[in-house]
Amino acid sequence: MVVSLLSEVYNGEIKYMQILDENGNVDASLFPKDLDDSKIIQMYKYMNFARAIDAKLLSMQRQGRAVTYAPLLGEEATQVGSAMAMRPNDFFVPSFRQHAVYLVRGLPLEKHFIYWRGFEDGGAIPKEVRGLPVTVPVGSQVPHAVGLAYAQKYKKTGSAVLVYVGDGGTSEGDFYEGINFAGVFKLPLVVIIENNQWAISVPRRMQTAAQTLAQKGIAVGIDSIQVDGNDVFAVYKATKDAIEASHEKPTIIECITYRMSMHTTADDPTKYREDAEVEAWKRKDPIDRLKKYLYSRNLWDDKKENSMKEEQTKAIEDAVRKAEEFKPDPKSMFEHVYSFMPEILKEEYDESIRENFWQG
């Protein structure tokens, strides 16, 4: 008698969700019930505003008026959709490209420009924004978010924590360690993987042999889903569902989007990717498809479009003027290094006062 001792112990799957297609059509069965017309128009305005800010900062950097900058062009739906799904009491932990998330969460616009002009004062995030400062080291923000989520669970605040990470960041040890911890302790964490297909010059296929990035959550027992990251409705729904479930478990959401510009202003993407690839993704532009939806339902017209652009241009110019009038206080390099000022730093500070060095 032959006895088979081989059995299946786990069989996982990753679902993909799209609600709004490239032609502006929607799947009514999946459409978020709480999304009314006014909220959809707000989404559209935020996405355009983020792109306009992006263009302004890129121009400023080329003029020597801003530091090395990471454009978000093409990723507006992922950021606006997830940010608008957040509740007032939720937190977010960004990397270095989540400019639209800050915008939606109410960061004063001039602080955004102050930061990218090279002054850390712009990274002092007001408490009501409920966000952490920009994080540049790849993947290192995930353990920070996990710690913040652990604190929310421990204190029973009911708040969720959204953390943003790129496709390259999912190859870092910090990512795995963070999601493993979140899975074990069932933390109120929502991981937004902003899969824009390129980690500087490294394509997605060179990051991992996994068919999806979302499935990395399977290994640590976290529910995961992949969505069309250029579909603001799908991102919104997936994030809202994850936040509602966060009191019981964490979630990973992989948003399939595309970085239509350079990694940063220090990068030249024409050296490593084909123009045809970029053109193909332009046809999936997140703003264009939402615009088609609004026009098809007579919720938007050219007059409103022009008025919106005029208002946003004025707001940006006002913020830039304030940012360029900003004078940093040199004391901040002493006061914001540690939670308290150690004696050796106090000695340097006292000496700087005696020598009056920043007045000269």
Which of 162, 174, 100, 93 lies closest to 134, judged by CA?
93
The DSSP letter of residue 108 is -
Q: Is residue 359 classed as helix, strand or coil in its secondary structure?
A: coil
- C-alpha–C-alpha distance, residues 191 and 217, integer Å: 10
Measured CA to CA, the distance from residue 151 to residue 2 in angstroms comes to 54
Backbone angles phi, psi at 226, to 5 degrees: -110, 135
How far is the C-alpha of 213 from the C-alpha of 232, rounded, in Å? Answer: 20
DSSP H helix total and E strand total for the chain: 12, 8
| Distance, C-alpha 165 to centroid of its chain | 7
SS3 of residue 129 by DSSP: helix
Residue with tokens 């046809």: 283
CB contact set of 308 (below 8 Å; sequence gap of 6+): 45, 48
The sign of the torsion formed by the CA atoms of 342, 142, 131, 289 equals positive
Question: Do residues 182 and 250 lie in contact, with contact meaning Cβ atoms separated by under 8 Å?
Answer: yes
C-alpha torsion 197→192→232→123, nearest 10: -100
What's the token pair of residue 230?
A: 């250029």
8 Å CB contact between 164 and 45: no
Tokens 């991992």 belong to 208
Beta-bridged to residue 165, according to DSSP, are: 193
Instruction: Report the catalytic residues.
Output: 259, 263, 272
Q: In DSSP terms, which residues pair with 253 in a beta bridge?
A: 192, 225
